[in-house]
Structure 1
Amino acid sequence: MSELMDAYWAAPPLARTMTTAIVITSVSVYLLGWLSPFWIGFHEERLFRFPPEIWRLVTNFFVSEPKIGIIMDPWFVYDYLKQVEVANPKFSAKEDVLWYLITVGSFIIFINRAIIGSGGFFLNGLIMALCYTATQDQRGTRAGFFFFTVPAQTIPYCMIAMSFLMRPWIIPMQISGIVAAHLHDFLWRIWPEFGGGPRLLATPKFVSYLVQTPAALNRGYGTAFRPGAGSGTGTGRTTGASTGSVLPDSWRTRGTGRRLGGD
């Protein structure tokens, strides 16, 4: 038991916290009946009443699909968020990853409510956004997706193809996740580096304060550094590529190339 707890606390803090929140909330909703979805789903009108129910901006991302989704959705979140948190060259600090979650989550809510006009729970969109962000810098590598081997950056589109066969109703939300992740990449990296503009999504100081204050988030877990950034004295943690997995997590190796956006 102690080894299991040690492994749990050694996991990247944001991935660990997000996954735990999804598991606890989903089990409370589907298996135990302790929590009603009505009180945690996103409803605009509930944000403007007194007192405002602002927790809905966050808790709507904590409910998985029922049945097998209680297992698979937290796993996807943990796997992709861990890759973003510890090995993605875009983010040099964990507060950047937290700001990524805040901004991408906001984009997903806006796209679904203002444009698509549906949705009260947006975890499927967030999973797709994390998948897109985790795989787009892995161009040139191959990844296992169930019984197939495909280019790593095509994994999000393979997931949409699978949804077309099994759960077509979530495809619009999945697409919103890809759009949100691509928009974040454009404003965070592409426009400043290749367009010569300012970084429009620079991490605010209050986010750094939020990350540095809780003791639970101050655990060492490895930090990724962009090539050429900083003094070069830090070392990031990366993982080697694995093979033979039937889930779309069979990649870990990436190059350091840059892209101009798009696929």
Structure 2
Amino acid sequence: MPKLGMLLDPYFLYSYLSQLEVGNARFARREDLIWYLSFIMLFVLFLDWLISLGSIWHLQALILALAYTCTQDQRGIKANFFFVDIPAQLVPYSMMLVSLIMHGPGMLYLQLCGLFAAHMYDFLTRLWPEFGGGRNLLPTPAFMSRLVPSPGRVEDHGFGRAFRPPRANDTGSSTGASTGGVLPDSWKTRGKGNRLGGD
């Protein structure tokens, strides 16, 4: 019988990574997510070297780090974990308990490295600036933005980020009529139009 990890690991990796890429406002740009993944994996490798685990396969640490980061913004929401509804923030700890039962303490140490790495990233980028009065100690470096350009949809302002919807058609004429759109073609030939109540 094949191990469950061969089925569950790709599922968890895809699920949590897509949640961070699509639905998490903290990673609005591609380079933010790549910087997060780079920090997590380098920190896990450092911890592995520091406590001499000697592991060569760190996927479990990455999956647990992704699960921890995803569920931090989902407090108060119920999540389904192996057909049991639990609070979303307990999902990483439930994953660690299942790994301890199925694989023993070796896997648990590796997952603890992932948990600590994700918590360290969360502390340096969100908890310390919001609650400690400091600044983001781990901003995405500028060279990442040059290496991995985001689509032109995100504009950074001093008060937050603005998301521009993608343009379907950039070939409009000077009168404002375009070759496509929601208006029927007969309406486009009527002129530029006037505002009601105008002069």
| TM-score over 0.5 (shorter chain) | yes
1:117: Cα distance to partner?
3.4
- The yes-or-no answer on 1:195 pairing with 2:132 is yes
Which residue of 1 is the match for residue 171 of structure 2? none
In structure 1, C-alpha distance between the alignment counterparts of 2:130 and 2:12, rounded to whole Å? 30
Normalising by structure 2, we get a TM-score of 0.72
Identity %: 45
Aligned residue for 1:80? Answer: 16
- The number of equivalent residue pairs is 160
Residue pair 2:21, 2:28 contacting (<8 A) in 1 also: no
Structure 1 residue 127: Cα displacement? 0.5
The separation in 1 between residues aligned to 2:108 and 2:11, in whole angstroms, is: 19
Gaps of 5+ in 1: 1-65, 236-263
Quick one: which amino acid aligns to residue 184 of structure 1? Y
Q: Deviations over 1:224-257 (max 9, x none)?
A: x9xx7234x557xxxxxxxxxxxxxxxxxxxxxx
What residue number does 1:238 align with? none
1:71 positional shift? 3.0
Which letter does structure 1 place at the counterpart of 2:160? Answer: A
Question: 1:103 corresponds to which residue?
Answer: 39
- The structure number with the bigger radius of gyration is 2
Which residues of structure 2 form unaligned runs of 5+? 166-199
Higher relative contact order structure (alpha carbons within 8 Å, sequence separation ≥ 6):
1
When the two chains are superposed, the root-mean-square deviation of aligned CA atoms in Å is: 2.4
SS at match of 1:120: coil
- Give the distance between the partners of 2:64 and 2:82, measured in 1 at CA: 17
> Counterpart of 1:90 in 2: which secondary structure?
helix
Aligned residue in 1 for 2:160: 229
Matching residue of 1:90: 26
Q: Displacement, 1:198?
A: 2.5
Determine helix, strand or coil for the equivalent of 1:121: coil
Counterparts in 2 of 1:1-263, with a 5 A limit?
67-168=3-104, 169-212=106-149, 229-231=160-162, 234=164
Deviation at 1:149, TM superposition (A): 0.7
Question: Shift in Å at residue 120 of structure 1?
Answer: 1.7
